[in-house]
Amino acid sequence: MGSNAFGQPLRRREDARLLTGTGRFTADLIAPGTAQAVMVRSPHAHARIAAIDTAVARAMPGVLAVLTGADYARDGLGGIPSGSDLIRLPGTPADQDFAFRPERPALAMEIVRFVGDSVAMVVAESEALARDAAEAVLVEYEPLPAVTRTEEACLKGAPPVWPEAPDNVCFHWQAGDRAAVDAAFARAHRVVRLDAVNPRVHVGALETRGAIGGFAGGRYTLRTGSQMPHGLKSALAEVLGVAPEGVRVLVADVGGSFGIKNALYPEQVLVLWAARKLGREVAWIGERADGFLSDYHARDNAYAGELALDAEGRFLGLRVTSIAAIGAYLAPKGQLSPTSNMPALAGVYRLPCIHVGVTGVFTHTAPTEVYRGAGRPEAVYLLERLVDHAARETGIDPLILRRRNLLTPAELPYATGLGLRYDSGDFPAMLDAALEEADHAGFPIRAAEAAARGRLRGLGWAHYCERVAGSWDEHAWIELHADGRVTALVGAMSNGQGHETAFAQLVAAQLGVAPEDVTVVQGDTDRIPSGHGTGGSASIPIAGAALSVATDDLIRKATALAADVLEAAEADIEFADGEFRIAGTDRRAGLRAVAALLGERVLEGAGWWKPEGPTFPNGCHVAEVEIDPETGAWTLVRYTMLHDFGRVLNPMLLQGQLQGGVVQGIGQAASESVRHDEAGQVLTGSFMDYAIPRADELPPLELITRPTPAPANILGVKGCGEAGAAGGAPAVMNALMQALATRGVRHLDMPATPERVWRALHATRL
């Protein structure tokens, strides 16, 4: 592969249109004359629908339709698919299955199960008219008891979300070697336990959800924001009862997703259904307040982690039990985060055996879905908090405890207790370099200076090692045109990462052309025959690898044309740095000259790639905080992240991904949490109540690359999209706890709001 573009910090070509207001998001795609839809949502977390009166709303000016669940059922359409089968890991019983897996109705018919559950849809000539009519839909509810707290959902006597699910259990799942863990705990010198909560979060993507449905020529067309257009197409075909070719999905610019826009939502089905009934396009654009209620939420886990240690502090085994709230309905990927990415519990440590058990529970809340890291940040958070807790409980310095248990390069490849095989990384060197960059040695001086001002100073760190980019395949196509320009078509779908820049840069490097001569096409299920989509930090490692294979195929096919230009045998032609050469001579022809022979034709290369195994990006985050003990207010004063993502395609894009991910982790540690009252009402229903980090609250983020090879990937890359979120929360919380422990605080859960910090400090004085 040529080096003219790979590794260069090219600016994002997308930014010009996005920053000048010419981007095309879902709402920008609404054509004149499109009907507008508004949803009627339940104000109750749990209630029986006694009656729905739509007569007044139907008679209002400009109203085209008022549709209910009864209408939907009469048309014979299906519900929203629930989670796929539970993942099988080492130690997972072969017969492990869901206790109850309900189908989610697109519109609730008899029972509503969370505040924001859809009851009816109003379609009118304008959004304002639809909104007025929605307020005129009269729904008679009979309120029922609700349960929203994760830990309480499976207790005896908790209000049932589904009568068919005793104790509100959706599934029990386990993995690992229970017998080995039990034996390790039996011989342990010390067992340390930590109970921790990973709170429910709202994603708050820049662009709210939206959908535009059309039906013409016997086919449905959906314009929406999604990371996985082809998966959405398949799900829609299933629900609508048509063949996959009867659905087209179009995705333009996507203003953030982080996993939450992957899966099918009711509104995407409903606008297509309404479009067919009305014979015209129907659009629904969610408002921010609506999103706080109806978007899929994330995280929401309660853990108990137990670590067995010998007399010298060496780890013998890890036992984890988790209760994971999946909400009122099992979302299409709702089971994934609590189960399939639990192998991240192995971390970067020499942990001989691990066992994990997860109970997925229904609650009267919005369903939960995958969100940046999809279970890896949750697992890393528990492990890294537990390791620090073990250091305090045993009296062993946390740095010494970690160094004593870190895997070394000499031990790689290493088989973890949950079925992974780490193939690369230098974890001790990563720790040492991170602490040096963060000036760990000078921390006691800074802490003493803070103490002189009446402040508490804390420094904490967290490691992570992720399994990414090893679970699926991807297709890609490369087209060479007569003018020498290149089109790259790929099944991945950008939602802010910069795919147009990254994929063009990758193809340009391999073909030896300028990146601006490469056009990237994504987000059209008609133009792109198949694709998995974006997720799991796999865009460059998998989709990029498929593009590389497609580019090789294009070069192979173009070699025949080059042989004609150079009047040589095809077997004697070589390609490098954008030129075809006759081996052993100075005779050559550029790609553009060869392309000129195409005339009206387009030369196509096709690629497919599926990795034989995952890559293992890893790193170490170091956070330093300062606390005012009188108020509980605290400041993040310094943040350092060293990371290993293998070969780097574009360091500028990498930095952007890490900045965003780190801040999402910091936000969860500091302030983010979806809260409900006892009746199930959402108390954090706006950005006035749900606090995401602000730029002026953050220090400069020092993000440093320290790569090692990626044996499992043909490009040498490991994937970076989720790593920042994995290390951010535990690093910040460990720093806070390092400071709070000096005042006798033994534990604090996220989010560490000033009130919670103050209460924790105040409790030690009582």
* Side chain identity at residue 671, one-letter code: S
Sheet bearing 282-285, strands edge to edge? 63-68, 118-124, 35-41, 282-285, 210-216, 219-224, 247-250
Using DSSP, state whether 264 is helix, strand or coil: coil
DSSP annotation of 539 reads: I
Q: Among residues 307, 230, 225, which one has the least CA distance to residue 259? A: 225
Three-state SS letters, 302-336:
EEEEEEEECCCCCEEEEEEEEEEEEECCCCCCCCH
Q: What are phi and psi of 728, to 5 degrees?
A: -65, -50
Cβ–Cβ under 8 Å, residues 99 and 86: no
Helix extents (H) in 521-638: 545-566, 591-595
Tokens 């993995």 -> residue: 175
Q: Which is it for the CA torsion 661, 663, 668, 669, positive or negative? A: positive
Would you kindly state where each structural domain of the chain is located, as residue ranges? Answer: 15-22+471-609, 31-144+206-256+261-294, 298-469+614-763
pLDDT tens digits, one per residue of 493-517: 999 999 999 999 999 999 999 999 9
Q: What pLDDT, on the 0 to 100 scale, is given for residue 1?
A: 41
Q: How far apart are CA 213 and CA 269, in angstroms?
A: 8
Q: List all residues 6 or more positions away from 22 whose beta carbon is below 8 Å from its beta carbon.
A: none
pLDDT tens digits, one per residue of 621-674: 999 999 999 999 999 999 999 999 999 999 999 999 999 999 999 999 999 999
Q: What pLDDT, on the 0 to 100 scale, is given for residue 764?
A: 78
Q: How far apart are CA 563 and CA 356, in angstroms?
A: 60
Cβ–Cβ under 8 Å, residues 447 and 206: no
Q: What share of the chain is helix, strand, coil (3-state, %, to 5)?
A: 35, 25, 40
DSSP-assigned beta bridge partners for residue 298: 201
Cβ–Cβ under 8 Å, residues 84 and 149: no
Three-state SS letters, 59-101:
CCCCEEEEEEHHHHHHCCCCCECCCCCCCCCCCCCCCCCECCC
DSSP-assigned beta bridge partners for residue 39: 121
Q: How far apart are CA 218 and CA 651, in angstroms?
A: 46
Using DSSP, state whether 459 is helix, strand or coil: strand
Residue 708: pLDDT over 50: yes
CA angle 11, 14, 16 (to 5 degrees): 85
The residue-averaged pLDDT of 198-222 equals: 97
Q: How far apart are CA 310 and CA 308, in angstroms?
A: 7
Residue 766: pLDDT over 60: no
State the chain's maximal CA–CA distance in angstroms.
91
Total Cβ atoms within 10 A of residue 660: 18
Using DSSP, state whether 111 is helix, strand or coil: strand
Q: Which is it for the CA torsion 506, 510, 515, 516, positive or negative? A: negative
The DSSP secondary structure of 197-246, one letter per residue, reads EEEEE----SSPPEEEEEEETTEEEEEE--S-HHHHHHHHHHHHTS-GGG
Helix extents (H) in 622-696: 651-670
Tokens 């001086």 -> residue: 445
Q: How far apart are CA 570 and CA 171, in angstroms?
A: 60
Residue 3: pLDDT over 60: no
Residue 303: pLDDT over 50: yes
Our measurement of the distance from residue 456's CA atom to the centroid of its chain's CA atoms, rounded to an integer in Å, reads 34
DSSP annotation of 627 reads: E
Q: How far apart are CA 624 and CA 691, in angstroms?
A: 21
* Side chain identity at residue 480, one-letter code: L
Q: Tell me the pairing of strands 219-224 and 210-216.
A: antiparallel
Q: What are phi and psi of 674, to 5 degrees?
A: -80, 125
Task: Answer yes or no: same fold for 15-22+471-609 and 298-469+614-763.
Answer: yes
The fold of the 15-22+471-609 domain, in CATH, is Aldehyde Oxidoreductase; domain 4 (3.30.365)
pLDDT tens digits, one per residue of 95-136: 899 999 999 999 999 999 999 999 999 999 999 999 999 999
Q: What pLDDT, on the 0 to 100 scale, is given for residue 84?
A: 82
Using DSSP, state whether 496 is helix, strand or coil: coil
DSSP-assigned beta bridge partners for residue 604: 479
pLDDT tens digits, one per residue of 529-573: 999 999 988 899 999 999 999 999 999 999 999 998 888 988 999
Buried b (16+ CB within 10 A) or exposed e, 240-264: beeeeebbbbbbbbbbbbbbbbbbb
pLDDT tens digits, one per residue of 369-386: 999 999 999 999 999 999
Q: What pLDDT, on the 0 to 100 scale, is given for residue 252?
A: 96
DSSP-assigned beta bridge partners for residue 641: 621, 703
Evaluate the omega torsion of the peptide bond into residue 413 and state whether it is cis, within 30 degrees of 0.
Answer: yes
What tokens were used for 725? 């979120």
Q: How far apart are CA 160 and CA 594, in angstroms?
A: 69
What tokens were used for 167? 């104790």
DSSP-assigned beta bridge partners for residue 250: 223, 524
Residue 5: pLDDT over 90: no
Counting DSSP H helices and E strands in the chain, the numbers are: 19, 28
Q: What pLDDT, on the 0 to 100 scale, is given for residue 405?
A: 98
Q: How far apart are CA 511 and CA 591, in angstroms?
A: 8
Cβ–Cβ under 8 Å, residues 415 and 421: yes
Polymer length in residues for the chain: 766
The residue-averaged pLDDT of 717-744 equals: 95
- The helix or strand, by DSSP H or E, that contains position 355, with its residue range, turns out to be strand 354-362
Mean pLDDT estimate for the chain: 95
Evaluate the omega torsion of the peptide bond into residue 751 and state whether it is cis, within 30 degrees of 0.
Answer: yes
The fold of the 31-144+206-256+261-294 domain, in CATH, is Aldehyde Oxidoreductase; domain 3 (3.90.1170)
Cβ–Cβ under 8 Å, residues 509 and 271: no
Structural class in CATH, domain 298-469+614-763: alpha beta
The DSSP secondary structure of 375-430, one letter per residue, reads THHHHHHHHHHHHHHHHHHHT--HHHHHHHHB--GGG-SEE-TTS-EE----HHHH
Q: Among residues 231, 236, 228, 297, which one has the least CA distance to residue 271? A: 236
- The helix or strand, by DSSP H or E, that contains position 494, with its residue range, turns out to be none
Q: How far apart are CA 60 and CA 48, in angstroms?
A: 27
Q: What pLDDT, on the 0 to 100 scale, is given for residue 2?
A: 43
pLDDT tens digits, one per residue of 62-76: 999 999 999 999 999
Total Cβ atoms within 10 A of residue 730: 30
